[in-house]
Chains A and B, each alone.
Chain A
Amino acid sequence: MNEINTIAKELLTSGKVNAVIGYIRYGNDKRTKPFIAQKPEEADKFVINKFILNNLAVYLTREEITKLGKIGIIAKGCDIKAIVALIQESQIKRDDVYIIGVNCSGVTNDFDIDFNAETVAGKCLNCEVKSPKLFDVTVGTLEDIPQGEDKKLKMIRGVEAMNSEERWDFFEEEFDKCIKCYACRQACPLCYCEQCIVDKSIPRWIESSASKRGNFSWNLIRAFHLSGRCIGCNECERVCPMDIPLSLLNRKMAMVTKDDFNYVSGMDVNAPTLVGSYDLKDNEDFIE
């Protein structure tokens, strides 16, 4: 029994929460999967290790989970940024959730190989929330995150160096692979719309077909709708079955919003959202 099991068990026994959502072992000894515990004895199954990749905040806006009542959630710093953003956007109340924050020293998707600078997830390299900023209790001890090459940033610089035609060709090749499975949307904690724009048919704004036009418009509209909101958990890219580098667009837009508006999503529950507010000091030099 570890710290996490004790905490989760106590929460369920005391009735402080109706369910705890976290990670359990799955398959070989290292891999994990999401799990929801409702009975105290089920809390024994939870683990914290280097393979707790999923962003469980995605469940906080799913009715199958929220109908259970107050939820305890085991969350890394990046996951908590999603919870903060959900509170900022009035999708959940702070009191609806009990946050078990994980002091995280990096995670990886490569359970076959050892955790090191090569295999650590790209998002962990520049992490500013190793120690969670919002929580009810914390668990785990911090170590150094192995410093690997920021391959994604290199890719972004590569695309920035392309001219419009080259960029179009690059994204056309990537989006052609898209099969419109919407795994990116479903895994994203901030894609919580009850009716997604792609599901609206009268009129049809975004085509549902996995055609050139349908794929381009889908991937672009998602990038637009996440601009200024995406917290960089990279779940979209992890879950894409066609290996489309989705984080390119999302991370680039986060860089733009930081540079142009000095705004970073998911850091402050009390901060107004970027696209939901205006500041008289906002840059207006593009208006002539």
Chain B
Amino acid sequence: MEEKIISKENLLKLCSDLLKNNVDVITPGEKGYVKIKNENEVALNSKTKHTKASFKEYIFPKSEPIIYYKKNQNDVEIIEPKVEEKTTVIFGAKPCDIRSINILSKIFNWDYKDEFFNVRANNTVLIGLMCEYADEFCFCTSVNLSPTSVEGSDIFLLPLDENNFAVRIVTEKGTNFLKSYENYLTPGNTEKSKAVEAAVKQPEKVFDAEKVKEWITGNFESEYWNSVGRMCLGCAQCAFVCPVCHCFDIVDEDYNYSEGRRMKNWDGCQFDMFTKHASGHNPRNDQTKRYRQRISHKFKYYPDKFDEILCTGCGRCSRGCPVSIDIKGIVTEINELAKA
């Protein structure tokens, strides 16, 4: 992996160049991931807290039209919107956020290639930033990640000192992207960057994801599920702020008798309507069943299917939960049950 150095000054110049070229630059700010208008708004502080929500909506929008329809006399006209191929840069996301695109890519390219996701993902350059914030909700190290992991990034930045960043060029996309900015880069210093990396405080690993998956496999009917999800109110805060939750609902919206659009909207497995059948039957008719599904999907079903844990340990779900349900605590408890 090639490594360079960039000064803060040049990083801001790079950002300014991007904005001048009409590239969308999205960075984690105080009000969440926002499109910046000025290079000085870009996030370069590795010590800041997570945003409340992930940057998922820029690659997988919370609501988007997938078809427009118009009923004429004898037929129905279908217009398929094309996703704009706009170059986007996610600038300064933590490893727990950046990793999400690789994880999501698997489901969106499984039995059907989702062009709405792919076009956006292909046109997005992911620039990660080392993380020096860890609170009691974080557990990236328990899900095969770390505050300095380059996995998922096209380019990864590590602050070497007040004015300089190590630039790890991880993918071909990253290499191609930096071709236009070669003059901003100077030769790397891997000794220094490795020292910085080693000094970062890693959250303690609190569970073994393999053991957790094994326990979930054999314990669908366990009494444990009765208490875990009982306090859940059944909103979708956790699913919607999560970098990797991806369930969606397809609904038609009529403008009038003859015209309308088909929408693809975020959906959440904690909603009581999520598995309600047209017959009225609901296989997950209480919150404890729905909560069992959430944990099982993240730590068993998705790993079984795609060899990826459907969780990056960012802790957003728990920080924002209206009733303080703590996924780290729950999975740790399951780990304990697995050991017993």
Contacts and interface: CB of A to CB of B under 8 A. Distances in A.
Given A180-B265, A182-B235, A187-B233, 13 more contacts: A27-B324, A33-B231, A33-B324, A34-B324, A186-B234, A204-B254, A208-B249, A208-B251, A208-B265, A235-B322, A242-B32, A242-B53, A243-B31
Given A180-B266, A241-B241, A210 B320 contact: no
Interface string A179-209: 1111101110000000000010100100111
B37 interface: no
Contacts of A29: none
A214 B264 CA distance: 13
A180 B273 CA distance: 14
Nearest to B52: A241
7 contacts: A36-B231, A180-B63, A180-B265, A180-B266, A182-B271, A186-B233, A242-B53
A179 B63 CA distance: 9
A28 interface: yes
Interface residues of B, number: 37
A36 B323 CA distance: 12
A204 B253 contact: yes
Interface stretch (A8-16, A57-65, A249-257): A57-65
A54 interface: yes
Nearest to B31: A243
Contacts, number: 100
A140 B288 CA distance: 33
Interface in B222-262: 230-231, 233-237, 239-241, 249, 251, 253-254
A31 interface: yes
Interface of chain B, helix or strand or loop or mixed? loop
Interface of B: 31-32, 52-53, 57, 62-63, 136, 230-231, 233-237, 239-241, 249, 251, 253-254, 263, 265-266, 268, 271, 273, 286-288, 320, 322-326
A245 B253 CA distance: 28
Contacts of B53: 179, 241-242
A181 B249 contact: no
A35 B323 CA distance: 9
A239 B265 contact: no
A211 interface: yes
Contacts of A27: 136, 324, 326
Interface in A87-101: none
Nearest to A38: B227
Given A207-B253, A210-B63, A183 B265 contact: no
A37 to B, nearest CB: 11
A214 B261 CA distance: 13
A3 B204 CA distance: 37
A185 B322 CA distance: 11
Contact of B265 (A185, A209, A238): A209
B239 to A, nearest CB: 8
A183 B322 contact: yes
B63 A211 contact: yes
Interface string A205-238: 0011111001000000000000000000001001
A62 B234 CA distance: 10
A179 B136 contact: no
Most chain-B Cβ atoms within 10 A of its Cβ — which of A31, A214, A235?
A214
B237 A241 contact: yes
A179 B62 contact: yes
Contact of A239 (B63, B237, B249): B237
Given A28-B136, A64-B288, A239-B235, A210 B230 contact: no
